A and B are shown apart, each in its own frame.
Chain A
Amino acid sequence: MSLDKDIDYGTPESKNQELISLEIDGHQVIVPKGTSVMRAAKQLGTSIPKLCATDNLEAFGSCRLCLVEIEGHKGTPASCTTPVEAGMVVHTQNDKLAKLRKGVMELYISDHPLDCLTCSANGDCELQDMAGTVGLRDVRYGYQGENHLDATTDNSNPYFSFDPSKCIVCSRCVRACDEVQGTFALTIGKRGFESHVSAGIEESFLNSECVSCGACVQACPTATLMEKSVIDLGIPEHSVETTCAYCGVGCTLNAEMKGDQVVRMIPAKNGKANEGHACVKGRFAWGYASHKERILNPMMRSSIDEPWQEVSWDEAIQFAAKRFKDLQHQFGRKAIGGISSSRTTNEEVYVVQKLVRAGFENNNIDTCARVCHSPTGFGLNKTLGTSAGTQDFVSVESADMILLIGANPTDAHPVFASRMKKRLREGAQIIVADPRRIDLVESPHIKAAEHLALKPGTNVALINALAHTIVDEDLADWDYVTQRCDKELFEQWLTFIKQANNAPESVASILGLDAEALKKSARLYAKAKRAAIYYGLGVTEHSQGSTMVMGMANLAMLTGNLGFEGCGVNPLRGQNNVQGSCDMGSFPHELPGYRPVGDDLTRQSFEKEWGLSLDNEPGYRIPNMFNEAVSGSFKGMYIQGEDVAQSDPDIHHVEAALRNLDCLVVQDLFLNETAKYAHVFLPGTSFLEKDGTFTNAERRLGRVRPAIKPRTGKHEWEITMEISKAMGYPMHYDNPSEIMDEIARLTPTFSGISFDKLDSEGSVQWPCNDEAPNGTPIMHIDTFVKGKGAFEITEFVATEEKVTKKFPLLLTTGRILSQYNVGAQTRRTENNVWHPEDILEIHPHDADERGIKDGDLIMLKSRKGETSLNALISKRMQPGVVYTTFHMPFSGANIVTTEFSDWATNCPEYKVTAVQCKLTDHISDWQQQFLDYHSKQNKSNKVIPA
């Protein structure tokens, strides 16, 4: 249930083009063929009573409340399962129907607790509403018959309870789990009077296959499945539409509130990225915003060994600005820089890069995309002309073949994964290229046509072999290539790809795959009418990340799979606003809209607007900043909402760099790992407090609206503005809408975007300008943004990180459903129930060789460092490859990762580290230091209040 009083049409919309005319209660209505009588009636404004029907689920016809009479038809059919027919004459209300409905309702209520006044769904219960609608006044059967009122409540899930005594067995939860989420964790156990909702094999929700997406809770028409927050707080009274702050899917959520208290989060039906669905993070894990560890006051200290001192905003800002200025005075203009955050709004990012370019007077601005999707920006720009994915999410619903490379959507982009799984259940095929056996390889109702379990670090050899096969077997779309792509570049590429060293037989041993599997995959992809590539960090976080992105674009161009629905090359971006932070000019070499700082015309437009001249030389990337800090020439940093001391590779190096800074300003919700090295801590705002926009992985800008006012007293863009002023470059905006207006003035791809437009449209995909006033769902429709598509040579070069006798295994890192990124948010929620620690997954063979059993403590060691983790023996892994996540700071996954990075963008090679695993009885030295630091901080390093 939800506060959202959007019209519920009862059954899904029919997409049929053919229209049908019928009469309902004397009124004519015209609807598409395939529409249910119930939906047609609702379109006329007539509500037929219903319980088991809701318009995001297929009609089911079990509650028997929606009965109607149709002239010429026998009996009283259910209006939800009866499709309209031409000339049909329907009666939705008459004495006979009223009597039938009341009779049905009596049966329901004869086995339902009569505790409406004290029930958590009181006022938000469809059963209650329907009892009122049918005019239930009495239950002739009494209440003493056999019933289910003694059924016990399952409170195992931390976020919702399941009270079967209130269940009417309408199956909405079961169907939501199947149809919307695609997990199939629920069923109806037994039959007849004994039928009941069962999670798994009569398991608790927590122990079942349930992934806690909450679709069942939303679908439940009673209090059977209910948010615990509603049980505690009562029904919310107003709602604020906003955008989720977790992954790059960017779900539209309604924060349902009581005053300034969030009661629950309900995915918005009109949200174009999620269409009414959400996941365990977005729907439930928002409690971190009021976690006791949140810092709400500015703090500073003159050295990192001193305790923090709470100070006023002004004092903190003046202190930081003075230090920055002094450092520039002493060490030069380029001695300071900043990192913008992929979790803040576009407007907040924009002012940070403006602060750096105009206030710091250099281009030392970078963002966490450096360590995730910078190769996407580079590779797609080089080949197609845009640094972003080509499709909207809904496009996947038209794909016939999905090539999924290095992405694990069911964990990292769960709401998009549900959409993808739905399409797969409809019959589309999927090929999964991933070293690990992820859920999309095989899970209920999903079976990949091929799992290319390649060795980590061999992506480019794979993509070349696929392209080679397509050329070799004449499966390319030659007309498309001739019309749309650059001839000269293509011919060069064709000569390259035909080389024997790109043949499946030549690379099979490099990949650890069968040549035939490669050929089969190439044929499946090339022969599909609509083939789409989706990929994640398993593509980008490699020494050849950019090469691989270009390789995928080559493959899509070669087969004519760009420029229409159901195809494309689509990055699944990690953080909520990582696309936006890139768009907003967070790169040292690019101004907003991906335009080089060296481009005079572009730079001049900014110079004119900002009233000063700008540096035309690219600034430092994050790794350059760290290197220069270690060598002593880079002295000050402003880091907003990114925990580099946990998320970046080769932590020993990062820590050495941060320790060397004379002024580190950290802005975050919590004292994160990076803040250990900070001199100034500026408290940030959570998404519940923010006012602005996020841009998701499909280039969609959605509004982030403040559900509550900033708990810190200031918006982040205001703080940045004040720092800039203190640095000697005053900028002024009254509200974030003015910042967006400036972005639109200066950035051609954003020129049509304004808060007004977003408020009226709901969301818009860039480019949005005069040519595309309502945005651009699909890119490159008739021609590539670049003009002619550019085939790039993608020679496979093996990474220098190789297994040796000393380090015979390859470590690859990734994500898990319940935790998000460095865990700063999710670790401070009940999501820890599912993932309290990072674990090391290892193949049984490798475990056997080392005498490792499930749960054993393992020392994971690379040439860079070592850390201990508990083992999970898993056949998801291939022999020779181990896997872990990096959500917990203590795990130190990035103590082990190396300094290697993408040749073009410096995106770190997180996905390939040669390691050894051994049984151990102690934690690593670094972990011990970590614990010592925290106990010291807890004992003596208390914050001194202002």
Chain B
Amino acid sequence: MLDRTHTIPKNRFEDWHLEKVSSLLKNFDNEEHNLIDVLHFFQRTFGYIDKEVIPLLAKFFNLSRAEIHGVISFYHDFRQSKPASYILKICQAESCQAMGSRKLTTELKAALDIDFHETNNEADITLEPVYCLGNCSCSPNLTINSQLFSRVTSDHLKQILEELKNAQHD
């Protein structure tokens, strides 16, 4: 399982440029219900949603700035700053907790010296909580970018972090 870190592609987010964002927005239909799709698209493309796009989205969807802000801030998954190349999400839901994810989380935070929603620039990792990955039978779970790791132990975690570090130098 540990080899799999080698196969994790780095996030390759585009640099945020309001003009680029504005022209990409034109590809969407401006029906109000598309807002979430647009936000996901921005997050996929740029890794986050810069606050400066809110007035633009408000105008595009004919909504108020407040409403757009309300939607973005409601979802923890929408990032408001650029993440690292590796986004590590560790499950905090009941099953994983029962199988030791709290301890793993504490270890992770200590190892990276960051809290949730923060980035360790050296390790190039952003740490985020996640609530259930739908893989409870193999708890505890975590993901790195789109790669799932299951039945993670403290030792595994150390190895994962180590291998990620090495992967960066490859």
Contacts and interface: CB of A to CB of B under 8 A. Distances in A.
A943 interface: no
A445 B62 contact: yes
For chain B, give the interface size range.
Answer: 10 to 19
Interface string B11-43: 000000000000000000000000000000000
Interface of B is mostly: helix
A189 B70 CA distance: 5
Nearest to A194: B73
A189 B69 contact: yes
A202 interface: yes
B34 to A, nearest CB: 15
A190 interface: yes
Nearest to A183: B64
B65 interface: yes
A447 B32 CA distance: 13
A872 B74 CA distance: 36
Interface string B68-106: 111001101000000000000000000000000000000
Interface string B44-57: 00000001001000
A203 B65 CA distance: 10
B74 A201 contact: no
B67 A187 contact: yes
Contact of A185 (B54, B64, B73): B64
A200 B69 contact: yes
A199 B74 contact: no
B62 A184 contact: no
Contacts of A199: 66
B70 A198 contact: yes
A198 B51 CA distance: 14
B73 A189 contact: yes
Contact of B69 (A183, A187, A443, A447): A187
Nearest to B68: A201
A184 B67 contact: yes
B114 interface: no
B58 interface: yes
Contacts of A442: 62
A203 B54 CA distance: 13
Nearest to A209: B64
Contact of B63 (A188, A190, A202, A444): A444
A446 B63 CA distance: 9
A939 interface: no
B67 A444 contact: yes
Given A191-B74, A201-B51, A184 B63 contact: yes
Interface string A855-892: 00000000000000000000000000000000000000
Most buried by B among A183, A188, A201: A201
B64 to A, nearest CB: 4
A202 B69 contact: yes
Contact of A201 (B63, B69, B76): B69
Contacts of B62: 442-447
Contacts of A187: 64, 66-67, 69-70
A857 B146 CA distance: 57
A772 B76 CA distance: 61
Contacts of A191: 73-74, 76
Contacts of A443: 62
Contact of B66 (A200, A445, A446, A447): A200
Given A201-B54, A444-B58, A209 B66 contact: yes
Contacts of A403: none
A209 B67 CA distance: 11
Contacts of A185: 64, 66
A187 B63 CA distance: 12
A189 B76 CA distance: 11
Contacts of B67: 184, 187, 444
Interface string A52-86: 00000000000000000000000000000000000
Contacts of B69: 187, 189, 198, 200-202
Contacts of B74: 188, 190-191
Most buried by A among B58, B64, B65, B66: B66
A208 B66 contact: yes
Interface string A438-466: 00001111110000000000000000000
A443 B66 CA distance: 13
Contacts of B58: 444
Contacts of B54: 201
A893 interface: no
Nearest to A444: B64
Interface in A368-398: none
Contacts of A444: 58, 62-64, 67
B32 to A, nearest CB: 9
Given A201-B51, A201-B54, A444-B58, A188 B70 contact: yes
Nearest to A191: B74
B63 A445 contact: yes
A200 B68 CA distance: 9
A637 interface: no
A189 B72 CA distance: 8
A186 B73 contact: no
Nearest to A201: B69
Interface string A157-170: 00000000000000
A594 to B, nearest CB: 43
Nearest to B30: A447
B113 to A, nearest CB: 24
Contacts of A189: 69-70, 73
Interface string A191-213: 10000001111110000110000
Nearest to B52: A201
A439 to B, nearest CB: 12
Contacts of B73: 189-191, 198
A357 B69 CA distance: 62
A246 to B, nearest CB: 25
Interface in A644-658: none
Nearest to A177: B66
A209 B68 CA distance: 13
A202 B64 CA distance: 13
Most buried by A among B51, B54, B58, B67: B67
A444 B61 CA distance: 8
B39 to A, nearest CB: 14
Most buried by B among A184, A199, A444: A444
A458 B68 CA distance: 39
A209 B65 contact: yes
A418 to B, nearest CB: 15
Nearest to B65: A200
A447 B74 CA distance: 26
Contacts of A446: 62
B43 to A, nearest CB: 17
Contacts of B64: 183-185, 187, 200, 209, 444
A54 B126 CA distance: 44
B69 to A, nearest CB: 4
Contacts of B65: 200-201, 203, 208-209
Nearest to B69: A201
Most buried by A among B58, B64, B65, B67: B64
Contacts of A183: 64
Contacts of A200: 64-66, 69
A876 to B, nearest CB: 13
Contacts of B63: 184, 444-445
Interface of A: 183-191, 198-203, 208-209, 442-447
Q: Rank and list the top 7 A-B pairs by shortest CB-CB distance, nearest first.
A: A187-B70, A184-B64, A187-B66, A444-B64, A201-B69, A200-B65, A189-B73
28 contacts: A184-B64, A187-B66, A187-B67, A187-B69, A187-B70, A188-B70, A189-B70, A190-B73, A191-B74, A191-B76, A198-B69, A198-B70, A199-B66, A200-B65, A201-B51, A201-B54, A201-B65, A201-B66, A202-B69, A203-B65, A208-B65, A209-B64, A442-B62, A444-B58, A444-B63, A444-B67, A445-B63, A447-B62
Given A202-B69, A445-B62, 4 more contacts: A185-B64, A190-B74, A191-B73, A200-B66
